[in-house]
Structure 1
Amino acid sequence: MRFVAVGAAFLMLSSAAHAEHYLMITHTQGTDPFWPVVEKAGKDAAAALGVDFEYKYAPSGDMADMAKLIEAAAASNPDGLIVSLPDYDALGPSIKKAVESGIPVVTINSGLEHSKEVGAIMHIGQPESVAGHSAGERAKKDGVTHALCLNQEAFNTALADRCSGYFDALGEKLNMIDVSSDPAQIKTRTAAALQADPKLDGLLAVGSHVCEAAAAAVQDVGAKVHLDCFDLSPGVTNLIKEGKVDFTVDQQQYLQGYLPVVILHLYNTNAHMLPFGNIPSGPGFVDKSNAESVAKLAGVTR
């Protein structure tokens, strides 16, 4: 009996010593409230499955620094990598090397168009051009004719795709400015743009913190514009309820953090089990009709 107990304890220790280990690396600079929800989701999934999980990002926002994080993560020989892919040229080679070394990779959020090319087993995120086009269709129905897109990450092709899709739906030429990822700069640059072009009747903010800063700029300037946004945060849901933001595009970032951990676990433990194709987590819309129902979840699991 004692032998059985000792053997069981040994097996438990051996299992713990060989727990699956997954790393997630994203392109946040730590200023966007979008990413803590993704991180929480990854941790929640890891806890549910009993696997190890690490979340990393480069505070500099520099893609070369992010590439180094991917290379360091691959060198630790994890059971899987989860990476956002906003800049294929800067990050593609590092991801490909990880795949070539035998590490399964799931791309999330940005980089749908390059996910297969870098060797990822799948992508989880919204098709950004489609999301932008859907936002533009709604804005056009609401009477927007002369708009401006506020892009906080000039390097991020996904954000440019949102802007392009929006203007395609409006039937207008792309009108986009770099507002940086700093809320103070976003507010200053948005206010300057509104003052420089009084004919603007629409703004598209492609991030939740951009949305909040843009709303403050609109109020300070006293402009009358249709403000549309991407992503959820407590501040954005409040702005919608107050009538200061018309809608936001919800890409359900909790799914982008939770599902890849589950996918990699199944891939590693169940004969490479995978869904049949990529998983589109959006786009959905939050407006006055449903803002109240997600308000308590915004910034937590939405």
Structure 2
Amino acid sequence: MGKYFYPIVGGLLLIASLFSLYYGIKAYQLGDLPENVEGYAHQSYHFLLVSQEIENPYWAKVYAGAKEAADRENIYIEYKGPVQTDIEEHLRILERGIAERVDGIITQGLNAEAFTPVINKAVEAGIPVITIDTDAPHSKRIAYVGTYNYRAGRQAGQEMIRLTGGTGKVGIVTGSLEATNMIERVQGFKDALAASPNLHIVAVESSNISRIYASEKTDQILRDHPDITALYGTSALDGPGMAEVVKRRGLSGKITILSFDDLEETLAYIKEGVITATVAQNPIRMGSESILLMKKLLEGKAIPTLNLTDTLILRKENLTEDRTTQSMENKSR
């Protein structure tokens, strides 16, 4: 017995170490498993929703809509995203979802060049992808759910013309200079302003989807262009960031602020008269619709390619308007 005892024990320890190493690597590759594994086992599908920023209040609304629909349909929804905007981390989360072989992926197509190959990889692996909030139309994604961002930008531009009478100098604070949805919102705004030659855009700065940076860039714009008469923000945190600076400088009511989204802080600034108006999207509807469409797809049903949620201009006089009736425009192409 003594002759073989140590070799056998050594061999068993080696095997145990190899198994530990293997599953450690797999756990790293696949990321965190669902917290409620027992509950997940009884759910029909496992969807991965990847946001631009996991703690962003706008994305909290998207997730709330997705979670409500998923719970109703007995679907497990895994919500992931970078703490701060980080395209590389976003792509790594998508790669882990592909490796984990989730049943469906719902994600932004933030940057066509970076996201298209990963979206295509998922679809080619048999995992359907629906883009949300920001489309990747040249990828193999199955459908898009969200705002028609160029049209929303034009809508914002037309509202700016109305608010300013078509004259003045405008500074833009945009969430990103690279994200497709932000680019489209700026371009639509510029194209609308082309109809008013006396309304000039004098600065375009990026907030990197950060309230702090939105404030810093607003301060910079006002220092560089003290004759600014209007500000336009294209992401949810830009409005509150701009408003904080304008209020601190004692310029409330003197500078027109047009923002995006209907965060509670944004609505409070509208009531206070600091923000003039905001382009309200429908993130809760985006979240719920993306879940329901993915479920239909996995059940073998045809779904529209474009599922466009409406936007609404909110001002102090219509803040109480019921936005749950905002319509959905469905198109196949």
Q: Would the TM-score normalized by the shorter structure come out above 0.5?
A: yes
Please report the RMSD computed on the Cα atoms of aligned residues, expressed in angstroms.
Answer: 2.2
Bigger Cα displacement from structure 2, 220-229 vs 285-294:
285-294
Contact 2:230 2:255 (C-alpha < 8 Å) held by counterparts: yes
Q: 1:237 to 1:89 in 2, by over 3 A?
A: same
Q: How many residues align?
A: 277
Question: Counterparts of 1:192 and 1:17 in 2: how far apart (Å)?
Answer: 54
Partner-residue secondary structure (3-state), 1:125? strand
| Deviation at residue 157 of structure 1 after TM alignment | 2.1
Residues 114-155 of structure 1, C-alpha deviation per residue, up to 9 Å, x if partnerless?
A: 33x211111011111111111111111222531111012232
Partner residue, 1:97: 121
Q: Does 1:24 align with 2:53?
A: no
Contact 2:85 2:209 (C-alpha < 8 Å) held by counterparts: no
Q: 1:174 to 1:288 in 2, by over 3 A?
A: same
Q: 1:191 to 1:294 in 2, by over 3 A?
A: farther
Partner residue, 2:301: 272
Q: 1:142 aligns with which of 126, 143, 163?
A: 163
Q: 2:259 aligns with which of 226, 229, 233?
A: 229
Residues 174-195 of structure 1, C-alpha deviation per residue, up to 9 Å, x if partnerless?
A: 7311233332332122122112
Question: Counterparts of 1:286 and 1:236 in 2: how far apart (Å)?
Answer: 10
Q: 1:186 aligns with which of 207, 214, 219?
A: 214
Question: Counterparts of 1:141 and 1:44 in 2: how far apart (Å)?
Answer: 38
Question: Counterparts of 1:54 and 1:20 in 2: how far apart (Å)?
Answer: 11
Partner-residue secondary structure (3-state), 1:27? coil
Contact 1:21 1:51 (C-alpha < 8 Å) held by counterparts: yes
Question: Counterparts of 1:174 and 1:278 in 2: how far apart (Å)?
Answer: 34
Partner-residue secondary structure (3-state), 2:231? strand
Partner-residue secondary structure (3-state), 2:50? strand
Bigger CA radius of gyration: 2
Partner residue, 1:292: 320
Partner residue, 1:157: 180
After TM superposition, the runs of 4+ consecutive aligned structure 1 residues lying more than 6 A away are none
| Deviation at residue 29 of structure 1 after TM alignment | 5.5
Question: Counterparts of 1:54 and 1:198 in 2: how far apart (Å)?
Answer: 47
| Deviation at residue 246 of structure 1 after TM alignment | 1.6
Q: Does 1:119 align with 2:140?
A: yes
Q: 1:180 to 1:104 in 2, by over 3 A?
A: closer
For normalisation by structure 2, the TM-score amounts to 0.78
Question: Counterparts of 1:287 and 1:274 in 2: how far apart (Å)?
Answer: 35
Partner residue, 1:219: 247
Q: 1:192 to 1:175 in 2, by over 3 A?
A: closer
Question: Which ranges of structure 1 fall in alignment gaps of 5 or more residues?
Answer: 1-12, 296-302
Residues 191-227 of structure 1, C-alpha deviation per residue, up to 9 Å, x if partnerless?
A: 2211221221110111222111110101122332110
Partner residue, 2:68: 44
Partner-residue secondary structure (3-state), 1:146? strand
Question: Counterparts of 2:243 and 2:84 in 1: how far apart (Å)?
Answer: 26
Residues 51-99 of structure 1, C-alpha deviation per residue, up to 9 Å, x if partnerless?
A: 1110110224221111111111011112111011111111211111000
Question: Counterparts of 1:290 and 1:27 in 2: how far apart (Å)?
Answer: 30
The one-letter amino acid of 2:218's match is T
Partner residue, 1:258: 288
Partner residue, 2:25: none
Give percent identity, aligned residues only.
Answer: 23
Question: Counterparts of 1:266 and 1:180 in 2: how far apart (Å)?
Answer: 35
| Deviation at residue 294 of structure 1 after TM alignment | 6.0
Question: Counterparts of 1:243 and 1:185 in 2: how far apart (Å)?
Answer: 22
Question: Counterparts of 2:237 and 2:86 in 1: how far apart (Å)?
Answer: 19
Contact 1:194 1:221 (C-alpha < 8 Å) held by counterparts: no
Partner residue, 1:168: 191
Question: Counterparts of 1:151 and 1:245 in 2: how far apart (Å)?
Answer: 16
The one-letter amino acid of 2:320's match is E
Question: Which ranges of structure 2 fall in alignment gaps of 5 or more residues?
Answer: 1-37, 195-199, 324-333
Residues 14-33 of structure 1, C-alpha deviation per residue, up to 9 Å, x if partnerless?
A: x9546211111121253x31
Partner-residue secondary structure (3-state), 2:117? helix
Q: 1:173 to 1:193 in 2, by over 3 A?
A: closer
The one-letter amino acid of 1:153's match is S
For normalisation by structure 1, the TM-score amounts to 0.85
Q: 1:57 aligns with which of 81, 89, 94?
A: 81
